[in-house]
């Protein structure tokens, strides 16, 4: 009979050997990278940049899939349930934090059911409208919202999404109540904005700057204290005397809880290589987005970032009186 302590030691050695073998062999088939918002939006655009970079480093295809809906929680739940083997990953932003506050019965916990791999990007947002919106500048835009309130439709990607939080900050700081129209992502929302079916969309630069430059939509302000380099003539909302409206969106990479540490280490190393890759940095900068400093592309940094977003932005929703669904 093998003594218990020896049995435990043997089991630990076999487990470590198994993990080591898995890690040495990882990846030996394509990886699925879930982006839980619709194709064509800012999240999808950013995710595809990183899919290409990770594929180059890991030597296996990284296939982006967009199981969208319910403010990103449908796709996120899919990753929470996936085998923890490193072959199903999640790229997500602030809605990973806000969904914890927004949904009474979320089928996962954003912290307990995931392994943080690292942050990838950060980027500003801007306030845009349909091309024929009847305001010639930022002050007229604000006056129009105040005069027309719920007659003005505000598109977003679902309660707790970046576009919703930006819209919420806009309504709170301007003291207006607009008519919210939710979509499965701001890709489809942008189509309706260009078609004139909705009036206002607050979105990340990686989603709408090209449409602003082409004149297919109009933009009135950067959603913060500083102007955007790609649209230098467009004021920041703070220039209209609006305080407390400043939002920046960061995307991070996650794996299901229980993914072996050697695999997580490989994925984080590949992410760190991506954020320091000049080609990746240049592509993101062209969208008005920044790759994070390499020290943020690590698990502990993403865990800390997620915790702060749960505390701060989750609190914003509660203070705004947004009721959990």
Shortest distance in whole angstroms from residue 11 CB to ligand MLT: 44
Is residue 42 a contact residue for ligand MLT (CB under 6 A)?
Answer: yes
Is residue 27 a contact residue for ligand MLT (CB under 6 A)?
Answer: no
Is residue 157 a contact residue for ligand MLT (CB under 6 A)?
Answer: yes
Contact 177, 160 (CB under 8 A): no
Residues near 205 by beta carbon (within 8 Å), at least 6 away in sequence = 42, 123, 124, 125, 126, 228, 230, 287, 288, 289
Which residue, 185 or 260, has its beta carbon nearer to ligand MLT?
185
Is residue 122 a contact residue for ligand MLT (CB under 6 A)?
Answer: no
Which positions from 176 to 195 touch ligand MLT by CB under 6 A, shown as an x/- string?
---------xxx--------
Residue matched to tokens 């009847």: 134
Task: Candidates 43, 110, 118, 123: give the one binding ligand MLT (CB under 6 A).
Answer: 43
Contact 150, 61 (CB under 8 A): no
Which residue, 159 or 264, has its beta carbon nearer to ligand MLT?
159
Residue showing the smallest CB distance to ligand MLT in the complex: 41
Is residue 170 a contact residue for ligand MLT (CB under 6 A)?
Answer: no
> How far are the Cα atoms of 8, 16, 251, 325 from residue 4, in angstroms, in the given order?
6, 18, 46, 50
Separation CA 242–CA 245 (nearest Å) = 7
Which residue, 92 or 264, has its beta carbon nearer to ligand MLT?
92
Is residue 26 a contact residue for ligand MLT (CB under 6 A)?
Answer: no
Phi and psi based region of residue 288 (left: phi greater than 0; alpha: psi -120 to 50; beta: remaining): left
Which residue, 27 or 184, has its beta carbon nearer to ligand MLT?
184
Shortest distance in whole angstroms from residue 147 CB to ligand MLT: 27
The helix, strand and coil proportions of the chain, stated in percent and rounded to the nearest 5, come to 50, 20, 35
Contact 137, 129 (CB under 8 A): no
Residues that bind ligand MLT (CB under 6 A): 37-38, 41-43, 93, 95, 157, 161-163, 185-187
């Amino acid at each position: 009979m093998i003594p218990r302590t020896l049995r435990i030691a043997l089991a630990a050695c076999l487990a470590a050997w198994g993990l080591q073998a898995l890690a040495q062999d990882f990846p030996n088939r394509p990886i699925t990278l879930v982006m839980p918002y619709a194709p064509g939006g800012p999240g999808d655009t950013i995710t595809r940049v990183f899919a290409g970079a990770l594929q180059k480093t890991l030597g296996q295809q990284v296939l982006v899939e967009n199981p969208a809906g319910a403010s990103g929680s449908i796709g996120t739940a899919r990753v929470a349930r996936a085998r923890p083997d490193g072959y199903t990953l999640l790229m997500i932003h602030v809605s990973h934090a806000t969904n914890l506050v927004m949904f009474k019965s979320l089928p996962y916990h954003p912290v307990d059911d995931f392994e943080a791999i690292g942050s990838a990007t950060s980027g500003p947002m801007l306030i845009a409208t349909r091309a024929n919106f009847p305001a010639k500048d930022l002050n007229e835009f604000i006056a129009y919202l105040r005069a027309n309130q719920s007659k003005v439709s505000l598109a977003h990607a679902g309660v707790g999404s970046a576009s919703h939080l930006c819209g919420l900050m806009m309504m709170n700081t301007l003291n207006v109540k607009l008519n919210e129209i939710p979509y499965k992502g701001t890709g489809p929302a942008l189509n309706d904005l260009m078609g004139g079916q909705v009036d206002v969309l607050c979105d990340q630069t990686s989603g709408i700057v090209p449409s602003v430059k082409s004149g297919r939509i109009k933009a009135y302000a950067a959603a913060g204290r500083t102007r955007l380099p790609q649209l230098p003539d467009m004021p920041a909302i703070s220039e209209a005397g609006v305080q407390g409206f400043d939002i920046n969106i960061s995307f991070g990479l996650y794996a299901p809880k229980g993914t072996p540490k050697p695999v997580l280490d490989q994925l984080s190393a590949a992410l760190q290589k991506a954020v320091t890759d000049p080609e990746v940095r240049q592509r993101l900068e062209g969208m008005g987005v920044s790759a994070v400093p390499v020290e943020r592309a690590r698990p502990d940094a993403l865990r800390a970032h997620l915790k702060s977003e749960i505390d701060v932005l989750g609190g914003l929703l509660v203070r705004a009186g947004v009721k959990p669904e």
